[in-house]
Amino acid sequence: MTTPSDPTRREVLLASAAGAALVAGTVDAQGVVARAGSHLPHAKPDDIGLDGKQLKVAFDLLEKWTANKDVPGGAIVVGRNGKIVAPRFFGRQGPETDAPPIREDGMFLMASITKPLVYLGAMLLVERGMLNLNDPVVRYVPEFKGKDKDLVLVRHLFTHTSGLPDMLPDNTELRRKQVPGQRFLDGAVRDTTLAFKPGTQVSYQSMGTAVVAEIVQRLSGQTIADFLRKEIFDPLGLKSTGLGAKGFARERLVRVQVPDEQVGSNWGWNSPYWQDLGAPWGGMFSSPEDFAVICQLMLAKGTHAGVRLLSPASVRAMTTNRLVEDPELPEAVARTRPWGLGWRLNQPGTSGSWGDLLGKEVFGHTGATGTTVWMDPQTQGFCILLTTAIREKAPWRLVHLSNAVAAAFV
Compute the distance between CA of residue 62 and CA of residue 58 in angstroms, rounded to an integer: 6
| 35 assigned to some structural domain | no
CATH number at 234 reads 3.40.710.10
For 316-328, write each residue's pLDDT tens digit.
999 999 999 999 9
Q: How large a percentage of the chain has pLDDT more than 90?
A: 91
| 13 assigned to some structural domain | no
Taking a C-beta distance cutoff of 8 angstroms, is the pair 323, 334 a contact?
Answer: yes
Give the model's confidence band at 210: pLDDT under 50 very low, under 70 low, under 90 confident, else very high: very high
| 10 assigned to some structural domain | no
For 268-298, write each residue's pLDDT tens digit.
999 999 999 999 999 999 999 999 999 999 9
Instruction: State the average pLDDT for the chain.
Output: 92
List helix spans (H) across 130-169.
154-159
| 250 assigned to some structural domain | yes
Q: Average of pLDDT values for 224-233?
A: 98
Alpha carbon of residue 273 to chain centroid:
20
| 33 assigned to some structural domain | no
Is the pLDDT assigned to residue 9 strictly greater than 90? Answer: no
Note down the domain range covering 133: 40-95+103-406
Q: Average of pLDDT values for 209-234?
A: 98
pLDDT, residue 38, reads 85
CA-to-CA separations, 223 to 102, 185, 247, 280, 291, in angstroms, rounded: 32, 11, 16, 11, 22
Supply angle C-alpha 61, 65, 70, rounded to 5. Answer: 155
**Residue 135 CB neighbour total at 10 angstroms:** 13
| 194 assigned to some structural domain | yes
Q: Average of pLDDT values for 153-175?
A: 98
For 19-74, write each residue's pLDDT tens digit.
333 333 333 333 333 334 489 999 999 999 999 999 999 999 999 999 999 999 99
State the DSSP H helix or E strand holding residue 77, giving kind and residue range, or none if neither.
strand 73-80
Q: Average of pLDDT values for 151-168?
A: 98
| 8 assigned to some structural domain | no
In the chain, how many domains are there? 1
Q: How large a percentage of the chain has pLDDT more than 70?
A: 91
In a 13 Å sphere around the CA of 320, the CA atoms on its Cβ side amount to 9
| 3 assigned to some structural domain | no
